[in-house]
Structure 1
Amino acid sequence: MQIHVVKRNESLTTIARTYHSTVNDIVEANDLPNPNNLIIGQALVIPIVGKFHFVQPGESLFSIAREYGVSPQELASVNRLQPNQQLNAGLRLYIPQGNKRTAEFNAYVEPRGTTVAPALESSAREAAPYITYLAPFSFQARRDGTLKEPLLNNFPAIARANRNVLMMVINNQENDQFSDELGRILLNDIAVQDKFLNNIVATAKKYGFRDIHFDFEYLRPVDRDAYNRFLRKAKQRFKTEGWLMSTALAPKTRADQPGKWYEGHDYKAHGEISDFVVIMTYEWGYSGGPAMAVSPIDQVRKVLDYAVTDIPSNKILMGQNLYGYDWTLPFVQGSVAKAVSPQQAIQLAARHNVPIEYDTKAQAPHFNYTDEGGKRHEVWFEDARSIQAKFDLIKAMNLRGMSYWKLGLAFPQNWLLIVDNFQVTKRGT
């Protein structure tokens, strides 16, 4: 699989010719919203086996082979070169596809309102072949130990058809806000807690959930140990049923990080107790804050560098957003940015005829435009380059895989790149 960044005066025809592909294949692979109006800086996935490398000044077969994890001898052989041959800048080399490691992928899906939108269910069907876990969001705990169920519709059937483990996401929300008081009751009132666990088991059996996933947030710092004790108790209960248990964690960079979101989460304990964890490494750029990358890789890396000191790397799913934001400038506190899919972001850039830039520190694409009313906007989103950078980080840190928040906003390049980089583990039956 090749990632190509559109340059000035390029067309799909010239790009297809460069990589021995076809215009139709490129349009289909990227579900291109602007096939006749490519934008400078737009990243395209070229659906070929392996990839091409264009030699840069000073590069050698050895340095290029090391970059792609192949032997210099193999690289020379497939390109009909001598092993010690000097390379001219601009020479096109074919890089054969290497071995793919296994990885696990989770995707949350969040129905809203009184019905499941057909487009959301369609999004789950499209993603299901590429994921290990499908996670309807969410079951909300109540203060008496009962559960408020989400809309499930055909999600269990979609999971079964694609050998996904159906993940039962349970949180401590009341009126769509995380409640530390609800958390206090569930973690400290043993009678309510036992009823809570009984209801979880009964519900999981009813629908076929095989991973129980706790997303308890904004807990009181004093309840940190109580949360750990509850997780140990729950783990033992679910183990007898043959189920997995996982947890969601705030993105900490040190064990004693202050702040209400962080203090109730004990990375070391969760790493010991849970089968795996989802670390929510996104929302640095968020709808209510100033414009910036949603999941800048330098910040993500800081969280993961700490996480692997307390949690086995093969238990960590890196959190990843499937969306970006469109901010109106100048940013005003209290304003709300509009969520956009990668496809919608490209359409915006094409409509306003503005180039897409790429921040190499954040490893994220962005652009600015002026709308029809004269207001300036700044857009940060995800593309093939940004997601490939995260996949490279998964490999470098030997992580378990990735967890997506959330389905419903189109990003076709992501799913193609999963297949190009990994062998997706299927745990369902």
Structure 2
Amino acid sequence: MEIYVVQPGDNLFGIAQAFGVPMSHIIEDNRLPNPSLLVVGQTLVIRFPEEVYTVQPGDTLASVALQSGLSLRQLYRNNPILEGQPTLYPGQTLVLRYQGSPGPSVTVNSYAYPFINQSLLQRTLPFLTYLTPFTYGIQEDGELVSLDDEPLIAMGRAVGTAALMHLSTLTESGNFSNDLANLVLNDLSLQEVLIDNVLTTLQTKGYSGLDVDFEFIFPQDALPYAAFIRRLRDRLNPLGYPVIVALAPKTSSDQPGLLYEGHSYRDLGEAANRVFLMTYEWGYTYGPPMAVAPLPNVRAVVEYALTEIPAEKLWLGVPNYGYDWPLPFLQGKTRATSISPQYAVSLAARYRSSISYDETAQAPWFRYTDENGTKHEVWFEDARSIRAKLSLIPEYGLDGAGYWNLMRPFPQNWLVLDSLFTIRETPLPAGLLRS
């Protein structure tokens, strides 16, 4: 795999010739909406087929997978043109293998709301070990707020992607409730009702594990939270369900702030089977323009986490989005718009802006002026920034990655991920996860 950065005067035909690959492959892999319109500074992921197969009459995707010694999921990953669908036609060319040695095995999880575009989900599922529908809420009596998750679970199961149940204190207002967390974490009888309801949902819906996400909890609830996670693990692990907990991006044990003080890395790391580090949102809706996940910040969180939690328990959080800020930025007034990496490039193309790359943050950005004369600054992710973040996984020996979230298309991310790693096809049983 090569990541090429578009230069002034480039065109796709010349780039394809220079790398010796079909132009159609670059278009399909990167899902270029207008191949004739490239942006200076835009990245293109270029993969080099090593073995291809021409579909014969009577072939099915399953038969091609069997005779080539590949999984269906790998065939989907190798051939984005399939769109996650098994339909073939005689004469079609499939890539069986790309140049390069298989990378280390990683677990990959991502979150999706029930209203996700189904075509987007279909073509992304083969890159995931787990899909986590977002989210089951909690009522004050321990009952669950229902979630229309069955279509997502079924789509994942059809391509071998397991589902994790997501449990949070998010309310209908869209905010995490520390009062609700306090109620649950300090009432053992209420916890028993809640855990019973969680277990019933895991079993009836066909989930493979539980992901717990209590944010902005009170500092005094840090130890009760860890005890609750431990209680969940003790109930669920013997039945084959791992417990994952999401943690705020801390860099020290005594980091101040409501987001951080209720999360004890050491205690939660001991209690859970896996830990998802939410290493993003430094650049956020109400903050000043900057990278969503600057690499030095991400690295600092990982290095602190490793002082408290074994590397083999950690999943690195990866953002699947960027932000567009109107300028000038005014604290308390300016509100950034969340956008997909693909849309960011289309904005740069529309307003004839060149994309710059911040080598320190390891993130792309650009500025433009809209039709109303308002200036904007955009920070997002591209193939370079994703490779920089994902490279932390083998550097520190982490177990895998978790993406927030799947709702926006980012095809280059999945190409980079698949080129760097071997994506685990089957979740580990809880008995092997427990430590």
**Contact 1:33 1:346 (C-alpha < 8 Å) held by counterparts:** no
Give 1 or 2 for the bigger CA radius of gyration.
Answer: 1
Aligned-partner Cα distance in 2 for 1:302–1:25: 37
The residue that corresponds to 2:340 in the other structure is: 341
Deviation at 1:153, TM superposition (A): 4.1
Say if 2:403 is the partner of 1:404.
Answer: yes
Amino acid at match of 1:382: E
Aligned-partner Cα distance in 1 for 2:49–2:298: 30
The residue that corresponds to 1:14 in the other structure is: 14
Amino acid at match of 1:233: R
The residue that corresponds to 1:267 in the other structure is: 265
Aligned-partner Cα distance in 1 for 2:121–2:99: 32
Name the SS for the 1:378 alignment partner: strand
**Contact 2:266 2:309 (C-alpha < 8 Å) held by counterparts:** yes
**Contact 2:110 2:405 (C-alpha < 8 Å) held by counterparts:** yes
Aligned-partner Cα distance in 1 for 2:112–2:294: 23
Deviation at 1:427, TM superposition (A): 2.2
Say if 2:105 is the partner of 1:105.
Answer: no
The residue that corresponds to 1:54 in the other structure is: none
Aligned residues: 379
Aligned-partner Cα distance in 2 for 1:221–1:428: 33
Say if 2:140 is the partner of 1:137.
Answer: no
Aligned-partner Cα distance in 2 for 1:363–1:34: 26
The residue that corresponds to 1:87 in the other structure is: none
Cα deviation, 1:77-118, whole Å, max 9, x if unaligned, reads xxxxxxxxxxxxxxxxxx96234110011010023xxxx35x
Say if 2:176 is the partner of 1:173.
Answer: no
TM-score where L is the length of structure 2: 0.85
The residue that corresponds to 2:78 in the other structure is: none
Q: Relative to 1, partners in 2 of residues 1:201 and 1:96: Cα closer, same or farther, differing over 3 Å?
A: closer
The residue that corresponds to 2:350 in the other structure is: 351
1:24-39 to 2 correspondences below 5 Å: 24-39=24-39
**Contact 1:328 1:377 (C-alpha < 8 Å) held by counterparts:** yes
Aligned-partner Cα distance in 2 for 1:347–1:213: 34
**Contact 2:153 2:162 (C-alpha < 8 Å) held by counterparts:** no
Aligned-partner Cα distance in 2 for 1:133–1:227: 24
Aligned-partner Cα distance in 2 for 1:18–1:7: 13
Amino acid at match of 1:303: V
Say if 2:148 is the partner of 1:148.
Answer: no
Cα deviation, 1:190-232, whole Å, max 9, x if unaligned, reads 1111101111111111101121111011111111111111111
Deviation at 1:123, TM superposition (A): 2.2
Aligned-partner Cα distance in 1 for 2:272–2:199: 17
Cα deviation, 1:303-360, whole Å, max 9, x if unaligned, reads 0010111111111111111110111000122332111111111111111111000000
Aligned-partner Cα distance in 2 for 1:161–1:309: 39
**Contact 1:163 1:428 (C-alpha < 8 Å) held by counterparts:** no
Unaligned regions of 5+ residues in structure 1, if any?
51-94
**Contact 2:368 2:376 (C-alpha < 8 Å) held by counterparts:** yes
Aligned-partner Cα distance in 1 for 2:359–2:254: 30
Q: Name segments (4+ residues, structure 1) moved above 4 Å.
A: none
Amino acid at match of 1:19: F
Deviates most, 289-298 or 175-184? 175-184
Name the SS for the 1:299 alignment partner: helix
Deviation at 1:49, TM superposition (A): 4.8
Aligned-partner Cα distance in 1 for 2:21–2:285: 39
The residue that corresponds to 2:157 in the other structure is: 160
Aligned-partner Cα distance in 2 for 1:234–1:97: 42
Amino acid at match of 2:254: D
**Contact 2:227 2:271 (C-alpha < 8 Å) held by counterparts:** no
Name the SS for the 1:178 alignment partner: coil
TM-score where L is the length of structure 1: 0.86
Amino acid at match of 1:244: P
Q: What's the C-alpha RMSD, in Å, of the aligned pairs? A: 1.5
**Contact 2:245 2:268 (C-alpha < 8 Å) held by counterparts:** yes
Aligned-partner Cα distance in 1 for 2:109–2:359: 27
**Contact 1:34 1:350 (C-alpha < 8 Å) held by counterparts:** no
Aligned-partner Cα distance in 1 for 2:33–2:354: 15
Aligned-partner Cα distance in 2 for 1:417–1:128: 15
Aligned-partner Cα distance in 1 for 2:39–2:348: 7
Q: Relative to 1, partners in 2 of residues 1:243 and 1:420: Cα closer, same or farther, differing over 3 Å?
A: same
Amino acid at match of 2:121: A
Amino acid at match of 2:2: Q
Say if 2:213 is the partner of 1:210.
Answer: no
**Contact 2:223 2:267 (C-alpha < 8 Å) held by counterparts:** no
Deviation at 1:150, TM superposition (A): 2.0
**Contact 1:133 1:167 (C-alpha < 8 Å) held by counterparts:** yes
Q: Relative to 1, partners in 2 of residues 1:96 and 1:47: Cα closer, same or farther, differing over 3 Å?
A: closer
Cα deviation, 1:40-59, whole Å, max 9, x if unaligned, reads 11110112159xxxxxxxxx
Amino acid at match of 2:45: V
Deviation at 1:171, TM superposition (A): 0.6
Amino acid at match of 2:340: S
